């Protein structure tokens, strides 16, 4: 298939070492240390202790035969307060990590923002403050200067939609805000940050750049006009709000419903040009489709999300629907046509605890088959990164949901390869040679 196989992780979910080497506080430190926010009061203070175990964790990736490793850089390790010069010890950690990947024949795929905003920036308004986008551009430049000669693919933002909804609407993720429908600043400043990061990276690195959005094919509950309209609204919010501005240079029309302020006071002249400068790949995170109906009584959103039944479910209760990944990839091609750059599946995976995890093998086999079908249907897909290498801190769910090809005992930090690890190794090592991006 001429394709890269990889694994994904994120800094706050695996690193631990929250107080080390000058790392500043992130919004996830603040949030998870606040009683009642995470299952069992879990925090990422220790997580997988990857900060100290990175070499043996990279050995696992090498053993797996994966050719790419998508990791994230903790902004507060680079700029403890989100501003000013780089913290040398923070850069040094990622320097070692990236060199460690290259020494093992693994391409570094670096995400700049996987939700761990420096708390000091949150104190100034977080992504609601336009200045955060400027700060993000500066941070991207610092990281690009340090690692830009070796990182093989940049990912600016991870799932800005989920960061918006869970962190700023429902308040169940950091920073724990409930902004009602006044969301445009948090939407737009994340996107502007993406654009400014692209500009900054282009100045200091010649490596390709992407952003990772999570997509969910939308199934209307019925053919009724109300259900169809609700499904269309939901599709625009989840699937297009953070993609149309990047690939088409415009917001989908629902943006008016997402602010009470004057749009022009938020989306300023020239912003969409910055946001829509060309990127080299589109990162697709996929977990499941969404079944949507017209709003049920008492709900103030313009849609309702319903449970999908009739499919196997993960430990999280998420339905496993591999065919929807093919549908999604084909739809992206239909919607964006020639504007669609090559796709990387930057995340796909399932929560399933047992070490003997045929369920996870079936999950990845099904989703890889769906990718293959999409490729055969003409979609240009270049890579598939399994979420995740290790069981890790699953945000508000703490350590209960286990996504790893490798099981982690969080008491002892012992790593145990699951059955899916051996299976994925076969997939990685039998893959045809890969093209350059």
Q: Is 72 in the site for ligand GCO (CB under 6 A)?
A: no
In angstroms, give the least distance from the CB of 265 to ligand GCO: 30
Pick between residue 57 and residue 394 the one whose CB is nearest to ligand GCO.
394
Q: Binders of ligand GCO among 276-295, rule CB under 6 A? A: 285
* 135-143, 144-152, 157-165, 292-300 -> range binding ligand GCO (CB under 6 A): 157-165
Find the distance separating the first CA and the last CA of the chain, reported in whole Å: 14
**Shortest CA distance to 147 belongs to which of 97, 212, 113, 197?**
97
Contact 289, 218 (CB under 8 A): yes
Give the number of residues in contact with ligand GCO, rule: CB under 6 A: 10
CA separation for the pair 193, 116 (Å, rounded) = 14
CA separation for the pair 345, 5 (Å, rounded) = 10
**Catalytically annotated residue among 15, 138, 141, 159:** 159
Tell me whether residue 347 is one of the annotated catalytic residues: yes
In angstroms, give the least distance from the CB of 425 to ligand GCO: 22
**Catalytically annotated residue among 299, 347, 373, 426:** 347
Beta strands 209-215 and 153-158 are parallel
Please pick, from the candidates 15, 227, 347, 357, the single residue that binds ligand GCO as defined by CB under 6 A.
347
CA separation for the pair 287, 184 (Å, rounded) = 25
**Shortest CA distance to 324 belongs to which of 284, 294, 357, 295?**
284
Contact 139, 193 (CB under 8 A): no
CA separation for the pair 126, 187 (Å, rounded) = 12
**Shortest CA distance to 196 belongs to which of 110, 270, 119?**
270
Q: Is 244 in the site for ligand GCO (CB under 6 A)?
A: no
Residue 123's alpha-carbon distances to 82, 170, 224, 258, 374, in angstroms, are: 11, 19, 45, 23, 44
Beta strands 209-215 and 218-220 are unpaired
In angstroms, give the least distance from the CB of 405 to ligand GCO: 14
Q: Is 75 in the site for ligand GCO (CB under 6 A)?
A: no
Please pick, from the candidates 242, 387, 399, 424, the single residue that binds ligand GCO as defined by CB under 6 A.
387
Q: Is 60 in the site for ligand GCO (CB under 6 A)?
A: no
In angstroms, give the least distance from the CB of 216 to ligand GCO: 11
Contact 225, 171 (CB under 8 A): no
Please pick, from the candidates 71, 282, 394, 415, the single residue that binds ligand GCO as defined by CB under 6 A.
394
In angstroms, give the least distance from the CB of 378 to ligand GCO: 27
Per-residue tokens: 65: 């035969």
Q: Is 138 in the site for ligand GCO (CB under 6 A)?
A: no
Residue 337's alpha-carbon distances to 78, 191, 378, in angstroms, are: 38, 21, 11
* 158-166, 177-185, 198-206, 223-231 -> range binding ligand GCO (CB under 6 A): 158-166
Q: Is 165 in the site for ligand GCO (CB under 6 A)?
A: no
Q: What string of DSSP letters covers 290-338?
A: EEEESPPTT--SS-EEE---SS-B-TT--B--HHHHHHHHHHHHHHHGG
Q: Is 239 in the site for ligand GCO (CB under 6 A)?
A: no
* 141-149, 156-164, 225-233, 366-374 -> range binding ligand GCO (CB under 6 A): 156-164
Tell me whether residue 414 is one of the annotated catalytic residues: no
Q: Is 116 in the site for ligand GCO (CB under 6 A)?
A: no
In angstroms, give the least distance from the CB of 10 to ligand GCO: 5
Please pick, from the candidates 159, 227, 235, 357, the single residue that binds ligand GCO as defined by CB under 6 A.
159
Of all residues in this chain, which one has the CB nearest to ligand GCO in the complex? 159
In angstroms, give the least distance from the CB of 197 to ligand GCO: 17
Task: Supply φ then ψ for residue 81, to 5 degrees.
Answer: -115, 15
Torsion of CA 197, 198, 199, 201, to 10 degrees: 80
5-44 mask for ligand GCO (x: CB under 6 A)?
-----x--x-------------------------------
Distance of CA 74 to the CA centre of its chain: 14
Q: At what angle do helices 419-429 and 50-64 cross, to 10 degrees?
A: 60
Q: Is 190 in the site for ligand GCO (CB under 6 A)?
A: no
CA separation for the pair 411, 31 (Å, rounded) = 23
Pick between residue 162 and residue 335 the one whose CB is nearest to ligand GCO.
162
Please pick, from the candidates 75, 136, 242, 403, the single residue that binds ligand GCO as defined by CB under 6 A.
403
Q: Is 158 in the site for ligand GCO (CB under 6 A)?
A: yes
In angstroms, give the least distance from the CB of 410 to ligand GCO: 15
Question: Which residues of the chain form contacts with ligand GCO (CB under 6 A)?
Answer: 10, 13, 158-159, 162, 285, 347, 387, 394, 403
Q: Which residues are catalytic, by number?
A: 159, 347
């Amino acid at each position: 298939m001429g394709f890269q196989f990889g694994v994904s992780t994120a800094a706050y979910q695996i690193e631990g070492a929250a107080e080390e080497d000058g790392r500043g506080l992130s919004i996830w430190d603040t949030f998870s240390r606040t009683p009642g926010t995470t299952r069992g009061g879990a925090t990422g203070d220790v997580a997988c202790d990857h900060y100290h175990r990175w070499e043996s964790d990279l050995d696992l990736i090498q053993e797996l035969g994966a050719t790419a490793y998508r990791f994230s850089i903790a902004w507060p390790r680079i700029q403890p307060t989100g501003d000013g010069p780089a913290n040398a010890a923070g850069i040094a950690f990622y320097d070692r990590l990236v060199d460690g990947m290259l020494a093992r024949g693994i391409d570094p795929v670096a995400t700049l923002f996987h939700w761990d905003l420096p708390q000091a920036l949150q104190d100034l308004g977080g992504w609601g403050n336009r200045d955060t986008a400027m700060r993000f551009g500066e941070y991207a430049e610092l990281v690009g200067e340090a690692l830009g000669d070796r990182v093989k693919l940049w990912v600016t933002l991870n799932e800005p939609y989920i960061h918006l909804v869970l962190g700023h609407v429902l308040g169940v993720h950091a920073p724990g805000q409930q902004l009602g429908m006044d969301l445009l600043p948090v939407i737009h400043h994340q996107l502007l940050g993406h654009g400014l990061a692209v500009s900054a990276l282009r100045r200091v690195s010649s490596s390709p750049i992407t952003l990772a959005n999570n997509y969910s094919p939308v199934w209307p509950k019925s053919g009724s006009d109300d259900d169809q309209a609700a499904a269309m609204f939901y599709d625009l919010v989840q699937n297009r709000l953070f993609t149309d501005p990047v690939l088409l240079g415009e917001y989908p029309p629902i943006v008016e419903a997402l602010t009470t302020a004057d749009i022009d006071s938020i989306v300023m002249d020239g912003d969409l040009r910055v946001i829509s400068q060309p990127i080299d790949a589109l990162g697709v995170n996929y977990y499941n489709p969404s079944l949507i109906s017209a709003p049920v009584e008492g709900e103030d959103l313009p849609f309702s999300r319903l449970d999908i039944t009739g499919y196997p479910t993960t430990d999280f209760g998420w339905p496993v629907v591999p065919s929807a990944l093919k549908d999604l990839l084909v739809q992206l091609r239909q919607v964006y046509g020639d504007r669609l750059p090559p796709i990387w599946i930057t995340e796909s995976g399932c929560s399933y605890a047992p070490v003997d995890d045929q369920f996870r093998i079936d999950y990845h086999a099904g989703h890889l088959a769906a990718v293959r079908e999409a490729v055969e249907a003409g979609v240009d897909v270049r890579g598939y990164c399994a979420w995740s290498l290790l069981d890790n801190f699953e945000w508000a769910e703490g350590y209960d949901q286990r996504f790893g090809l490798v099981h982690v005992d969080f008491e002892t930090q012992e790593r145990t390869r699951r059955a899916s690890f051996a299976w994925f190794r076969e997939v990685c090592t039998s893959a045809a040679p890969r093209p350059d991006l």
